[in-house]
Amino acid sequence: MKSIIILLPVIFFLFSSTVSAVSYVNSCQNLDQADETYILTDDITLGSTGICFRIQDEGITFDLGGHTILFDTSPIVNVPNPSFEQGSGSYPSNWDFSNANEGYWDDTGWFYRHGGDHSVVFPSGATPGSYIESDSFTVPAGDYEAYVLFHGFISHPTLDVIGVSGETCSVVELQNGKKYQNYIFCSFSVSSSTSASLRIGISGSPGDDPPVVFDHAEVHPEKVDNAPIKAYTGADGLEIRNGKIIQGDVKSMGGSAIFLDKVGGTRTSSIHDLEITMSGVDTSAILFQTINGLEIYDNKITQTATYTRNRHEMHALIEGHSRNHDMYIHDNELTGGYQSGVRIGSLSSNINVYNNVIDMNTAVTNGFAVHLYRVEGSDVYNNTITGYGEGISIERNGSSQVFNNTIDMIQYKNPEYPLYDASIQGLCARGIKLEVAKDVHVHDNKITTTSDANSYVTCPMNIDSPKDVIVENNEFTSIASVVPSGPDSGFFTNIGVMFQKFDESAGSNLVFRDNIIHSNQAGLQAYEVYGPLKIEDNTFVNTGDTSYKFVFVTGWPALSLSDLTFYNTTNTNTNLDTADAGWSSSDGWNYFVDWPISVNVEDGVGIPIPNAQVTITRDSDSQVMYSGSTGSSGRVIAENIRFFEVVGHTGKTYYVNHEGPYTVEVVYGDTQTRPVAYDTSKDVTFIFGAGVCPDVNSDGAVDIMDLAMVIFAQGRDQNDPYWHAYDHMDVTDDGMVNFDDISRVISYLGYTCS
For 180-208, the pLDDT digits (tens) are: 667 888 999 999 999 999 999 988 766 55
Q: What distance in Å separates the CA atoms of residue 589 and residue 380, rounded to the nearest whole number?
A: 36
Residue 314, classed as helix, strand or coil, is coil
Relative to beta strand 438-443, strand 467-472 is: parallel
Stretch among 10-14, 103-107, 249-253, 291-295 having the lowest mean pLDDT: 10-14
What would the pLDDT profile of 500-525 be if each residue is shown by its tens digit?
A: 888 777 778 999 999 999 988 888 88
Query: Could you read off the pLDDT of 102-160 as tens digits, one per residue?
Result: 899 987 655 455 567 788 998 878 888 999 999 999 999 988 999 898 877 656 789 99
Phi-psi region at 724: left, alpha or beta (left = phi > 0; alpha = psi -120 to 50): alpha
d(CA 174, CA 408): 29
Entry pTM: 0.84
Burial of 204 (C-beta count, 10 Å sphere; 0-12/13-18/19+) = middle
Residue 705 main-chain phi, psi, to 5 deg: -65, -40
Q: What share of the chain is helix, strand, coil (3-state, %, to 5)?
A: 5, 50, 45
Q: What is the pLDDT of residues 611-658, one digit of tens each?
A: 999 999 988 888 898 999 999 999 999 887 777 777 664 445 555 666
The segment(s) of the chain belonging to CATH 2.60.40 are 597-682
Contact 25, 39 (CB under 8 A): yes
Q: In percent, how much of the chain has pLDDT > 70?
A: 82
Q: What is the pLDDT of residue 258?
A: 97
pLDDT exceeds 80 at position 165? yes
- Residue 581: pLDDT band (50, 70, 90) is low
Query: If you average pLDDT over every residue of the chain, what do you get?
Result: 84
H or E element at residue 608: none
Does the pLDDT of residue 1 top 80, yes or no? no
How high is the pLDDT of residue 225? Answer: 66
Confidence of residue 177 (pLDDT cuts 50, 70, 90): very low
Q: How many residues does the chain have?
A: 754
Angle at 456 between CA 454 and CA 457, to 5 degrees: 135
Average pLDDT over residues 437-445: 96
Give per-residue burial for 637-659: e unless 16+ CB within 10 Å, then b.
Answer: ebbebebbbbbbeeeeeeeeebe
Count of CB atoms within 10 A of residue 319's CB? 24
Nearest to 641 by CA among 682, 601, 611: 682
How would DSSP label each residue in 706-727?
HHHHHHHTTT-BTTSTTGGGTG
Q: Determine the topology of domain 597-682 in CATH.
A: Immunoglobulin-like (2.60.40)
Instruction: Give the C-alpha separation, 49 to 249, whole Å.
Output: 12
**Nearest CA to 748 among 714, 712, 703, 711?**
703
Who wins on pLDDT, 588 or 220? 220
Give the CATH H-level superfamily of domain 87-221: Galactose-binding domain-like (2.60.120.260)
Residues of the chain with CATH 2.60.120.260: 87-221
pLDDT in tens, 252-263: 777 899 999 999
User: Can you count the helices (H) and strands (E) in the chain?
Assistant: 4, 63
* pLDDT over 60 (residue 2): no
